[in-house]
Amino acid sequence: MINATSGADNTAVLALRDVHKSFGEAHIIRGVDLELRRGERHAIIGPNGAGKSTLFHLISGQFRPSSGEIFLHGAPIHGLEARVINRLGMARSFQITNIFPGLSVFENLRLGIMRRHEL
């Protein structure tokens, strides 16, 4: 959809529609609806155990939703493997960042780029 006032693409970059995640009887994510458009910034806040990490695992493909839909640039990504979602342009980072603590920052970045391009 084109926004008539700005001419910019108004399609959500990321959209979640009624996303749920349960682990057995534990209902962790209960009907999340979210749309992020180009240039927008949002924060996910809440206490420990609120489901923030689970939500990011769902978006990145680490977990599959129990129900609901997740879209990246209008294309469904719910149920895809994390590596496929990553190739589509959705990447995430983790709080623990020193994957190779004996290497320099440059060397760690280079390894990530080399993996991306299968060098």
Q: What is the pTM of this model?
A: 0.73
Q: Give the pLDDT band (50/70/90) at residue 97.
A: low
For residue 60, report the phi and psi dihedrals to the nearest 5 degrees.
-85, -5
Domains of the chain: 14-93 (3.40.50.300)
Q: Note the pLDDT tens digit of each residue in 12-55.
A: 999 999 999 999 999 999 999 999 999 999 999 999 999 999 99
pLDDT of the residue at 98: 58
- Return the structure tokens found at 57: 């695992």
Q: Give the pLDDT band (50/70/90) at residue 91.
A: confident
Q: What angle do CA 63, 68, 52 make, to 5 degrees?
A: 50
